[in-house]
Structure 1
Amino acid sequence: MKVTAAVVEQPDAPFVVRELELDQPGPGEVLVRVTATGFCHTDGLAREGQMPFPLPGVLGHEGAGTVVAVGDGVSNVREGQAVVMGWPWCGHCRNCLDGEPRYCLNLGELAFSGHRPIGTSGLKTAGGDPLAGAFFGQSSFATHALATATSLVPVPDGMPVDLMGPLACGLATGAGAVFHTARPLPGASLVVYGAGTVGLAAVMAARNSAASTIIAVDRHESRLRLARELGATEVVDAGTTDPVQAIADICGGPADFALECTGIVPVVRQAIDSVGMRGKAILIGGAPAGAEFSADHMSTLWGKTIVGTLGGSGRSEPLIGALMALHASGRFPIDKLVERFPLERIGEAMEASYSGAVVKPVITMPQD
């Protein structure tokens, strides 16, 4: 079938909107008419050639839309159902079987190989040349996308489907770090370094937790104002003060949890230094390939935990489903982060994300 998609021809090349051919769904797959897709930092890294995804190809991994066709053996979703396309997972490795599909041992192949498990991407140019697809199991910078049925999360009736896509990655990553990895007890103090999509999702999740002190750290005044609006009890401008000392002053000592959402190596060290004995520093932001960080040995030895988390951990359906319910009740206001861009303006959306002018650009697809 004919679809319209944003194609990246080579590393650092611009997105070019083109008409392509897309296969029908195979066994265990669905065809989704995409309503909208969030633009994520990971899409930018792949466009730049910093991830092992082959180009030319189609990116996009925070898609939501409506199922329009199902392949053989699909029973968990139906045609006409609104869905979020979550991360792919194999379902049979030890981590999937342990209920942690974010750490699927086959995630690299499923997310970055450029092809579906059956061996082809399903995408071709109008002239018949194959393109890489199945980015994070979807390649949803397009009017239609193929996805594995097991990765889909149903969207309840009445929910704004065009806002739900970012729950697949950025928003789930920040919120899941609080709910699954930190799990703050009553009265806990929690610091979020970086008030972007992931960090602000963590702030919103913390507001829905038992943490009583929620500190947002950033260099942009507008982001700090938004963090306060979304639930931060305190904010720290890292451009004008030492955040580690400011956090100690606020908490009367080290914080219980520090979530590092920037991927900037010096900030990683600040997050680690912000927690003390039995505290937990949670690394979330993606640093450049090969990046290394250091920590003080003696203070870490006294019960400090430094742990990474991927995609919010846990399973997509319960986490994304819970965030949808919180949004519906006004307790997780995704709309305050989002600005919409039509597919033909995807390059502008990327620049708005990079500059910080927009927290979460969402690419809307033509529905003709």
Structure 2
Amino acid sequence: MRAKAAVTLKNQQGFEIKEIEIDEPKANEVLIRVVATGVCHTDAVARDLEGLVEMPAILGHEGSGVIEKIGTDVQNVKVGDYVVMSFASCHHCENCLTAHPSACESFNLLNFDGRTLDGSTPYHYEGKDLSIFFGQSSFSQYVVTKADNVIPVDVDNEEDLSLLGPLGCGIQTGAGTVINHLNPKAGESIVIFGTGAVGLSAIMAAKLTGCAHIIAVDIHEHRLELAKKLGATHTINGKMTNTVEEVRKITKKGAHYAIETTGVAPIVLQAVHSIKPLGTVVIVGFTGEVTFNIQNDLMAEGKTMVGVIEGDSVPPLFIPKLVELYKQGKFPIDQLVAFYSLDQINQAFNDSSSGKVIKPIIKM
């Protein structure tokens, strides 16, 4: 079949709307009509960083949609189901079998290699193969993906469904880091560096767990105002205040936990210095080289620094929980988003990069 997609022809170039060819689903695959897809920083990294994904490609990895066709072996979904797509995992390595699929031993192969395990791709443009991204490539009107890469969700209509794509990556990363990995006790303190979609999702999750101090750090005042509305008890503008001193003033001795979402080296160090002895810093963003003193910054006070991928979530279990929390009004993801059409995708990325919009969503 033919469909429109936002194609990345070369690294560091804008998306181009092209008509592509899409193969029929194989026995263990499904065809999904994409209703909407989130725009994530990881898509921008894949677009701009040479060598991460083979070009040309269709990026996008926060898709939600409707099942149109199923392969002969598919049993977990049926035609007409509303679904969210998440990251791909093998489901049989040690990490997958112990409920840590985001640390799947084949994670990079399945999400960044650009091909299915048999070396093929269902997407083609002018006779050339287009690489798959995160097992889905949701910047397309239609997607072919493995059936175990989709999660049925209980919503009433496609308007509600259009909000849910970001649960597949950015939102589950923030919320899952708090709920699945840190699991803070009521009364403890947490500081979140960066109030984009990941950081704000962490703030909403921290509110649900009963944290006494939920401290949001950013340089955009409008984001800090939204953070306060969504559950932050304190906000810090990192451009105007000594962040570490302010966190210690609020918490008396440093926060129990810090979540670093920005990937900016100096801010990583601020996160380490903001936690109390025996505290934990979680790194969730793309982060390069950071120089720090192991003895002074970590060892001397028994601090922990850990990387967490995709909120350490099991998507078929965690995403429906987030949907239910949203329906109950306890997880208001609708306050994070702005909608764009497919032909506005480059503007959506610009608005995300500038900080104007928290979570752009492309409606197909």
TM class by shorter-chain length? over 0.9
Q: What pairs up with 1:187-202 in 2 under 5 angstroms?
A: 187-202=187-202
Deviations along 1:6-29, one digit per CA (max 9) or x if unpaired, are: 011101111100100000111211
CA contact (8 A) 1:62 1:169 kept: yes
Supply the distance in 1 between the matched residues of 2:50 and 2:285 (Cα, whole angstroms).
15
In structure 2, relative to structure 1, the CA distance for the partners of 1:32 and 1:273 (3 Å cut) is: same
Q: Counterpart in 2 of 1:175?
A: 175
Q: Secondary structure at the match of 2:24?
A: coil
CA contact (8 A) 1:277 1:299 kept: no
Relative to structure 2, which stretch is displaced further, 48-57 or 325-334?
48-57
In structure 2, relative to structure 1, the CA distance for the partners of 1:51 and 1:212 (3 Å cut) is: farther
Q: Counterpart in 2 of 1:214?
A: 214
Q: Does 1:308 align with 2:307?
A: yes
Q: Counterpart in 1 of 2:353?
A: 354
Q: Counterpart in 1 of 2:339?
A: 340
Supply the distance in 2 between the matched residues of 1:116 and 1:66 (Cα, whole angstroms).
22
CA contact (8 A) 2:272 2:297 kept: no
Q: Secondary structure at the match of 1:163?
A: coil
| CA positional deviation for 1:336 | 0.6
Amino acid at match of 1:349: A
Q: Does 1:141 align with 2:139?
A: yes
Q: Counterpart in 2 of 1:6?
A: 6
Deviations along 1:214-251, one digit per CA (max 9) or x if unpaired, are: 00001110010000000001101111111100000001
Q: Secondary structure at the match of 1:145?
A: strand
Amino acid at match of 2:137: S
- Give unpaired runs (5+ residues) of structure 1: none
- Give unpaired runs (5+ residues) of structure 2: none
Q: 1:153 aligns with which of 151, 154, 170?
A: 151
CA contact (8 A) 1:218 1:236 kept: yes
Supply the distance in 2 between the matched residues of 1:21 and 1:249 (Cα, whole angstroms).
58
Supply the distance in 2 between the matched residues of 1:258 and 1:42 (Cα, whole angstroms).
21
Deviations along 1:48-70, one digit per CA (max 9) or x if unpaired, are: 13452000111000000001011
Amino acid at match of 1:140: S
Supply the distance in 1 between the matched residues of 2:303 and 2:25 (Cα, whole angstroms).
48
Amino acid at match of 2:149: S
Supply the distance in 1 between the matched residues of 2:69 and 2:94 (Cα, whole angstroms).
31
In structure 2, relative to structure 1, the CA distance for the partners of 1:8 and 1:200 (3 Å cut) is: same
Supply the distance in 2 between the matched residues of 1:117 and 1:361 (Cα, whole angstroms).
31
| CA positional deviation for 1:101 | 0.5
CA contact (8 A) 1:45 1:51 kept: no
Supply the distance in 2 between the matched residues of 1:212 and 1:164 (Cα, whole angstroms).
29
CA contact (8 A) 2:95 2:103 kept: yes
Q: Does 1:75 align with 2:75?
A: yes
Amino acid at match of 2:172: A
Q: What pairs up with 1:20-99 in 2 under 5 angstroms?
A: 20-50=20-50, 52-99=52-99
Amino acid at match of 2:176: G
Q: Does 1:166 align with 2:166?
A: yes
Supply the distance in 2 between the matched residues of 1:130 and 1:50 (Cα, whole angstroms).
18
Supply the distance in 1 between the matched residues of 2:315 and 2:110 (Cα, whole angstroms).
16
Supply the distance in 2 between the matched residues of 1:271 and 1:137 (Cα, whole angstroms).
33
| CA positional deviation for 1:72 | 2.1
Supply the distance in 2 between the matched residues of 1:69 and 1:295 (Cα, whole angstroms).
55
CA RMSD of aligned residues (A): 1.2
Amino acid at match of 1:52: L
| CA positional deviation for 1:295 | 4.2
Share of identical aligned residues, percent?
Answer: 40
Q: Counterpart in 1 of 2:127?
A: 128
Q: Secondary structure at the match of 1:5?
A: strand
In structure 2, relative to structure 1, the CA distance for the partners of 1:295 and 1:62 (3 Å cut) is: farther
Deviations along 1:41-92, one digit per CA (max 9) or x if unpaired, are: 0000111134520001110000000010111211000000000001111011
Supply the distance in 1 between the matched residues of 2:278 and 2:338 (Cα, whole angstroms).
39
Supply the distance in 2 between the matched residues of 1:169 and 1:294 (Cα, whole angstroms).
29
Supply the distance in 1 between the matched residues of 2:171 and 2:152 (Cα, whole angstroms).
17
Q: What pairs up with 1:220-259 in 2 under 5 angstroms?
A: 220-259=220-259
Supply the distance in 2 between the matched residues of 1:38 and 1:216 (Cα, whole angstroms).
23
TM-score, structure 1 normalization? 0.96
Amino acid at match of 1:90: C
| CA positional deviation for 1:212 | 1.3
CA contact (8 A) 2:172 2:313 kept: no
Supply the distance in 2 between the matched residues of 1:335 and 1:220 (Cα, whole angstroms).
20
Supply the distance in 2 between the matched residues of 1:354 and 1:137 (Cα, whole angstroms).
24
| CA positional deviation for 1:157 | 3.1
| CA positional deviation for 1:210 | 2.4
CA contact (8 A) 1:3 1:142 kept: yes
Supply the distance in 1 between the matched residues of 2:293 and 2:43 (Cα, whole angstroms).
30
| CA positional deviation for 1:117 | 2.1
Deviations along 1:155-198, one digit per CA (max 9) or x if unpaired, are: 10316110000000000000011001211112100100001110
Amino acid at match of 1:284: V
Size of the aligned set, in residue pairs, is 361
| CA positional deviation for 1:299 | 5.0
CA contact (8 A) 1:269 1:295 kept: no
Supply the distance in 2 between the matched residues of 1:339 and 1:186 (Cα, whole angstroms).
33
Q: Counterpart in 2 of 1:287?
A: 287
